Structure formats: C-alpha cells, structure tokens
Amino acid sequence: MNIVGHLINGESRTDATRTQDVFNPSTGEVTKQVALASKQTTEQAIAAAQAAYPAWRATTPAKRAKVMFKFKDLLEENADKICALIGEEHGKINHDARGELIRGIENVEYACYAPELLKGEHSKNVGPEIDSWSEFHPLGVVAGITPFNFPAMVPLWMYPMAIVCGNTFVLKPSERDPSSSLFIASLLEQAGLPKGVMNVVNGDKEAVDTLLMDERVKAVSFVGSTPIAQYIYSTASANGKRCQALGGAKNHAIIMPDADMDNAVASLTGAAFGSSGERCMALSVAVCVGDESADIFIAKMSESMKSLKVGAFDNENNDFGPVITKQHLDKVVGYISGADEQGATIVVDGRNVSVEGYENGYFVGGTLIDNVKQGMTCYEEEIFGPVLLVVRVESMEQAMKLINDHEYGNGTCIFTRDGEAARYFSDNILVGMVGINVPLPVPVSYHSFGGWKRSLFGDLHAYGPDAVKFYTKRKTITQRWPSAGIREGATFSFPSN
C-alpha cells in the first residue's frame, strides 16, 4: 500500500515506524497510509530549515517574490490534480475544491507583493541631523499546523508570506488528508525555492509537540478546534514562541423581518451545507426575528433543501460530499439526535441518507432543526456538519445578545434592507468577521482573517497585512552624521527632538 511520507530538505522521506490509514470518505475504504513523523524526523526537518535560513534571509525580496510568481503558475497548471487529491481524501466536491484552491492562490498573489510590503518606513530629521527608519526582519524557522478541512487553502495562508518575508518553514498538515498539502509544497522546488526553505512533516501529537518545544522554531501558526488551539497557544507561548492559533466557531445569521427572504435562503443554503458544513465560517445558526419571519424562513428553506445533492467528489452536479471520518459521522448524527431529545424540532432529517453506489461512505444529508434554545448541546458546541439550526427571538437586541454571549466570535452576518440596523449590528457585534447580506464574510487576501473571543488565541490575524507583522520583527535604527567641526558635549537629560 502506498505510504505518504515527508518532504525534508527537498527530498521525499518515509518514516514508516508508525503509520495511520488514510480513507476515501466517499467509499469508506482505506486508500493509502501516512507516515507519522517521530521526534527525530521532525527535528531533521527543523534542522534543514535552520541550515537553509542564512542564505534565504540574505536573498532579496524581489528574488523571493519571483519564486512565488512561478509557484502561482504551477498551482494553476496542476489545479485538476490538486482538486482530485483533495476530493479523494477529504470528499470535497471538485467545484468546492477548486474554489478553495483559488482562494489559496490569491494569498500567493499577495505574497508576490513582498518588495512593497517589506520596504519599511523612513523619517528624515527626527532631530537635528538625525534620521530614523524601521526595517522588517525575518524571525528564522517558523511552523504551521493545519486542519483537514482546507488542506490546500489554509497552508497557503501561512507559508507563502512566511517565506517571502525571509523565513524558512516546517508544515505539519492534517494526517487525515495529507497528499494535496505535500504535493503543493513540492511545487515550490519546481518554482526555484532552495532546498530546506520549505519542509513538510506528516504526523500526530509527537510531531506537533516537537515543533512547539524546539527552541529553533520561532513562531507557530495554527488553525483547528478551540481546545487544541488553546493548547497550541499556551504551549508555544510557554516555550518563548510567537503564536497565532485560530480555533472553533458558531456562526450566526440574523434574519430580520424586512430581509429579502429568497436571497437569505439561497445564501444560507450554500453557507450552511457547502463542504458538508466542515468550515470554520459555515453559517450554522439562523436567528429569526419574529415568529412570522421564522415560519417563512423554515418553509422556504425546507423547499430549497429538497434539491440538495450529496455524493462523491468527482460528480460536479453534487452540492457537497461526505464528512471526513466515520467517527465524525457518528458525532454529527449524535448532535442531531441530541437536539431531538432536548426538545428541538427536526424539520429536515439527514441522518439516514444513502448514496447509491457509495453505501459505505460517510454521508450526512442536509439537516434543518427548528426551536433550538440556548443551553442545548447542538447550540453551544460546534457541530462541523451539514446542520442548520433555527433560533427564534423577538427582537434584534435579543439576537445580538445571543451572538455576543456565545464563547465563539468567528463570523456572523445579518440579512436586512435597513441600513441603520446593519450599521448598528456591525458596530456592536462582538465578532471578528461580519457580513451584511453576505453569508460567508471571509476576507480577501489583502485583508486579514480572524475571529474574537475563543475563536482566536493571539494578537494577530491570519494572512494579509497581519501576516507581515506576524512573520517579521521590527528593527528601528536612528543615526546621526554631525556636520564637520560641530561637536556637542555630554547630555544627561532624556533625548527629545
């Protein structure tokens, strides 16, 4: 059976002491195995990155950017292969995988702007014949730990910008769908990246803890669940590393009485069920203001869901595919059953869906649950499946209180025709990414992505302008060249201009 290994110092490596099965979630079959890196193997990747750092740091930003321009071309040329790898191991439909890849490529395009982003700041004559400027220096070896749900896009949030800033990188992708991340990283060498600048180790907690504790690693970026994000952040910080750790979400959409209901339903159909709901920006809670709004929304959404098509990744007519594992399938079904037991109303039930020819796949159909209340397990926890909850409230203030009281603050949106309500909502909601009649307010590559509260640990968001700050350290230089023959005596007061 094929074993997916590692990429260390430009060479494919297989550390097969420990392996884990990789499944095709559409069929439930084991298709390959992934090698789980030992502490020693992970340290070899770190050593390769450390050895490559001095020369790469000395490479000009323009030359670094040229690598990214070529890398972008290679990603586009190999898009079909990348999307197939994602589909085979994640289950994501081809059109969804292509959308993921395009958003990742947009971050590569932003990284191509490195000469402008890194040119620093300069002020002349901050004092008598004194000039001052700031420079942005790389950190050294940095690491990324990425989740299964976006095996192409999320790594591309991290290492293109880290690399163009002059750092070297070690990526630890999800062991559930490792092949696309590994293949994409291999394209960097074709693009002209020197060996050792980019390294990939597949593995589990042993590899993660090695990255978190090795003093050669200066910064760690993570995307995943909140409990793991908190562990990553606290462990990395305790070991003196800079860290950003993006966690879970419970994203609410407020449906106002004046909303364009057809638009809201169409928007939420895609935002709730796309990618089987396995997105940290999935809209999983519709908060309807007024029973009349809720009744209309439920009726229209139920009708819309009749046309949902769930199935295998290679059929472009399907809307979404399976969830990632049998264990996750059972977990999502458990949330639906728990909602029923706790008094919610199952309007559309996706627990017993069967896909012809793929009867052993990990499929959950689109599910709609009404009369959900605070305190219900399905409401309080992140389901990460194709399940849309409906909560009924009497006012916009109650709707906003629900959102502001929740432990997560990743994304949210409001559907309304009222500009005053939209402005008040965006000004006062305690969430990091906000949409106005936009269901998935994922920032473009030249803005930054990140939530509030327990959806983000750390001060800087992912990609965009914050990525430059995260992957560099500022050095401010103040210099003076006095005019010939002019000398001053000692000054004992604190300097000022």
Alpha-carbon distance of 91 to 83, in angstroms, equals 10
- Cβ-contact 173, 207 below 8 angstroms: no
CA angle 214, 218, 221 (to 5 degrees): 100
Lay out the sheet containing 19-24: strands in order across. Answer: 3-4, 29-35, 19-24
Q: Is 112 annotated as catalytic?
A: no
Q: Report residue 497 as tokens.
A: 């201009």
Q: Which residues of 330-351 are buried (b: 16+ CB within 10 A; e: fewer)?
A: eebbebbeebeeeebebbbebe
Residue for token pair 């462990």: 235
- Cβ-contact 354, 244 below 8 angstroms: no
Considering only CA atoms, which of 289, 285, 313, 298 is closest in space to residue 376?
285
Considering only CA atoms, which of 453, 401, 447 is closest in space to residue 431?
453
Which residue type, as a one-letter code, is found at position 134?
S
Q: Report residue 449 as tokens.
A: 């992505």
Alpha-carbon distance of 133 to 284, in angstroms, equals 47
Q: How many CB atoms lie within 10 A of CB 398?
A: 14
3-class SS letters over 42-110: HHHHHHHHHHHHHHHHHCCHHHHHHHHHHHHHHHHHCHHHHHHHHHHHHCCCHHHHHHHHHHHHHHHHH
Q: What are phi and psi of 265, to 5 degrees?
A: -65, -45
Q: Pick the catalytic residue from 83, 112, 280, 288.
A: 280
DSSP 8-state secondary structure symbol assigned to residue 310: B
Considering only CA atoms, which of 46, 34, 313 is closest in space to residue 175?
34
CB within 8 A of 323, min separation 6: which ones? Answer: 25, 91, 276, 278, 329, 332, 362, 363, 364, 384, 385
Q: List beta partners, residue 220.
A: 143, 243
Active site residues: 280
